[in-house]
Amino acid sequence: MATTALPLEKTTHATHEMSFVRKYIFSTDHKIIGIQFLLMSFVFLLFGGLMAMMMRWQLGFPDQPLPAGQLLPETMAPGGFLLPEFYNSLVTMHGTIMVFFAIMPLLVGVFGNFLIPLKIGAPDMAFPRLNMASFWIALTAGILIMAGFFVEGGAAGAGWTSYAPLSASPEWTGVVGGQQLWLVSLAVVGLASILGATNYITTVVNMRAPGMTWFRLPLSIWALFVTAILVLLAIPILSGAAIMLFFDQTIGTHFFDPTDGGQPLMWQHLFWYFGHPEVYILILPAMGFVSDIIANASRKPVFGYHSMVYALISIAFLGWIVWGHHMFMSGMNPTLGMAFMMSTMIIAVPSAIKVFNWMGTMWRGNIMFHVPMLHSVAFVSMFVIGGLSGVFMASPPVDIYFHDTYFIVAHLHYVLFGGSLFAIFGAVTFWYPKMFGKLMNPLLGKIHFWLTFVFYNLTFFPMHNLGVGGHMRRIYDPSQYEFLQPLAPLNTFITVSALLLFAAQIPFAVNFIMSWFNGEEAGENPWNDNGLEWIVPSPAPHGNFAELPIVYRGPYEFSSPLVEEDFLPQTRKLDSDTEPAAASAAE
């Protein structure tokens, strides 16, 4: 496919004028689609956060009605007191929305779309119309899942893991349509993800500019590429399982119903066979962004670039053989427990390698602590905590105690929030100028960062201690248990911290919106970075590059002895450089 040989004048959308609707609503421009995913995801991040606040209120102040709780209907919170079934729905929907409609689209939908063509030197994605479809399908899925709150019986209430038989029949939860809408929504958003993944893989394989060899790709692109492969392979498993469960709910099949020969354990195997690669989908792109940002801020090459690539690939590969560690207590054959334990222990190693390489990148650097770097360092320090807590659960005997306790809740939030969400804040700040042509206000950025960092740790670190005390998860009323009563003050402390954490996001929202209109104008390359996106105007124009970029080196040539400046863009030609072969992009 002679994509790079194609003269840029021949791409159709570079020249004609379009209506507002074609340009900004039904756009096929990967950058606009990325921004659409950004706005959609922030809305769902807000919804997910509000649900968490309601859950925390119940755990911290169970005898006080929820503030403004009288606005909620009687079926959810009569008199402002949450009903247990509504609490179960909140637990379920918080998890589902954060995973599928906030973190995943923020990492993959936003930055996959926005960065890939720009950073590899392509004018757009391989399939722009498919790309547009991917967004609108994802948005439809988001509407479907929220619709669960408005149907009789309420929203899905069997946990984001939706274990059968609880999820298979309304008899067990009292939820009818909500559980079905949940499955349909996941199948639909899964389709959006698969379309996106197809696009990303094809684009990275086929549309790299001349000289952009595989080992000159930035780690953000490597991470997005590997993630896209995971998405393509993992999501169809969820879709298949969702269809089977949907049939159990609606047309009388018994895939997961033991009274008619079905197997509840099979749901868990199917879900986690998807679910474990899914959690790597939720972290790998973040690792990629952080690599780019730490190198930029340290003014140094990424330490061990090749190791970093191999570590990404190993994590993705090993991620397929660890799923049973979610099922140590499930009743599956205990010998499987041993096997999954070993693979889970081993997968800690490539993550450790990455942490040391990030530190190695900072070592002997000349570090600028701009806001993206603050978030990236927070990523490393929080991800390490999340990774280390995972070692406890990887040991099946220790998991006996910790499974389904707040220790797990602490672990998952350290990797998903402490990890992915901080990386997202950093990445949004870093690439904001390229998206909108303005810089986000650095003072507001620092205030947001520090408030978030402090209240985040005050919220989630104590959850480890709740777990050590044996506090179960998904529990509406811990006071029912004498052994949990001494932990009640800790629950209240966590709730107060969580409320403050939620409030601490206000500076970010204000910064995001205000900077769009009033922010300082950004030049082409405000961070003095080497990537291809920084050689085009801010915001990046339709079609991206006025002429085909030629790549002469890797993306991390900071403080190179070859030049005076402490950065050396990938496309800058030095006298010592030779032209790459025109066909190199096809390798």
Q: Which of residues 44-83 bind another protein (CB under 8 A)?
A: 74-75, 78, 81, 83
Smallest gap from Cβ 454 to another protein, in A, equals 15
* 282 class by beta-carbon count within 10 Å (0-12 exposed, 13-18 middle, 19+ buried): buried
- In the complex with another protein, which residue's Cβ is closer, 5 or 342? 342
Residue of 43, 50, 233, 472 that binds another protein (CB under 8 A):
472
- Using CB under 8 A as the binding rule, whether residue 299 contacts another protein is answered as yes
- Using CB under 8 A as the binding rule, whether residue 264 contacts another protein is answered as yes
Task: Name residues whose C-beta falls within 8 Å of residue 437's C-beta, 6 or more positions apart in sequence.
Answer: 521, 522, 537, 538, 539
What are the C-alpha distances in Å from 418 to residues 1, 243, 273? 42, 33, 24
Residues 319-348 that bind another protein (CB under 8 A): 329-331, 334-335, 337-338, 341-342, 345-346, 348
Q: Report the alpha-carbon distance of residue 491 to residue 483 in Å, rounded.
A: 14
Smallest gap from Cβ 350 to another protein, in A, equals 8
Q: How many CA atoms lie within 13 A of 214 on its CB side?
A: 9
- Using CB under 8 A as the binding rule, whether residue 93 contacts another protein is answered as no
Residues 347-376 that bind another protein (CB under 8 A): 348-349, 352-353, 355-357, 359-360, 362-369
Q: Considering only the stretches 174-182, 220-228, 422-430, 530-538, report the one whose residues sit in contact with another protein under the rule CB under 8 A.
A: 174-182
- Using CB under 8 A as the binding rule, whether residue 549 contacts another protein is answered as no
Smallest gap from Cβ 582 to another protein, in A, equals 28
Residue of 35, 230, 279, 380 that binds another protein (CB under 8 A):
380
Q: Considering only the stretches 47-55, 178-186, 410-418, 498-506, report the one whose residues sit in contact with another protein under the rule CB under 8 A.
A: 178-186
CA torsion angle 158 161 163 168 (round to 10): 60
What are the C-alpha distances in Å from 202 to residues 117, 125, 232? 11, 8, 12
Read off φ and ψ for residue 155, nearest 5 degrees. Answer: -80, 165
- In the complex with another protein, which residue's Cβ is closer, 61 or 516? 61
With contact defined as beta carbons under 8 Å apart, do 220 and 283 qualify? Answer: no
Q: Considering only the stretches 35-43, 234-242, 318-326, 560-568, report the one whose residues sit in contact with another protein under the rule CB under 8 A.
A: 560-568
- In the complex with another protein, which residue's Cβ is closer, 330 or 492? 330
Smallest gap from Cβ 7 to another protein, in A, equals 32
Question: Which pair of tokens denotes residue 295?
Answer: 């190198």
What does 153-176 look like in DSSP terms, one character per residue? T-B--STTTT-TTTTT-HHHHS-S
- In the complex with another protein, which residue's Cβ is closer, 10 or 306? 306
With contact defined as beta carbons under 8 Å apart, do 529 and 296 qualify? Answer: yes
Smallest gap from Cβ 3 to another protein, in A, equals 26
Residues 129-168 that bind another protein (CB under 8 A): 133, 136-137, 140, 143-144, 147-148, 150-153, 158-159, 163, 165-166
Smallest gap from Cβ 190 to another protein, in A, equals 13
Residue of 32, 51, 204, 385 that binds another protein (CB under 8 A):
385
Q: Report the alpha-carbon distance of residue 167 to residue 188 in Å, rounded.
A: 19
- In the complex with another protein, which residue's Cβ is closer, 394 or 435? 394
- In the complex with another protein, which residue's Cβ is closer, 59 or 204? 59
Residue of 465, 492, 528, 584 that binds another protein (CB under 8 A):
465
Read off φ and ψ for residue 438, nearest 5 degrees. Answer: -125, 160
Residue of 229, 468, 500, 586 that binds another protein (CB under 8 A):
468
Smallest gap from Cβ 92 to another protein, in A, equals 9
Q: Report the alpha-carbon distance of residue 24 to residue 352 in Å, rounded.
A: 42
* 403 class by beta-carbon count within 10 Å (0-12 exposed, 13-18 middle, 19+ buried): buried
Residues 388-447 that bind another protein (CB under 8 A): 388-389, 391-392, 394-398, 400-401, 403-405
CA 8 to chain centre: 33
Q: Considering only the stretches 27-35, 213-221, 228-236, 468-476, report the one whose residues sit in contact with another protein under the rule CB under 8 A.
A: 468-476
- Using CB under 8 A as the binding rule, whether residue 258 contacts another protein is answered as yes
Question: Which pair of tokens denotes residue 545?
Answer: 């590059």
Smallest gap from Cβ 435 to another protein, in A, equals 24
Q: How many CA atoms lie within 13 A of 388 on its CB side?
A: 9
What are the C-alpha distances in Å from 90 to residues 42, 82, 95? 18, 10, 8
- In the complex with another protein, which residue's Cβ is closer, 485 or 521? 485
- Using CB under 8 A as the binding rule, whether residue 305 contacts another protein is answered as yes
Smallest gap from Cβ 384 to another protein, in A, equals 5
Q: Report the alpha-carbon distance of residue 137 to residue 204 in Å, rounded.
A: 23
Smallest gap from Cβ 352 to another protein, in A, equals 4
Asked, as a colleague might, if the bond just before 539 is cis with ω within 30 of 0, I would say yes
With contact defined as beta carbons under 8 Å apart, do 324 and 340 qualify? Answer: yes
With contact defined as beta carbons under 8 Å apart, do 113 and 33 qualify? Answer: yes
Q: Report the alpha-carbon distance of residue 146 to residue 407 in Å, rounded.
A: 29
CA torsion sign for 305, 308, 310, 312 is negative
Residue of 12, 19, 480, 576 that binds another protein (CB under 8 A):
480
- In the complex with another protein, which residue's Cβ is closer, 102 or 133? 133
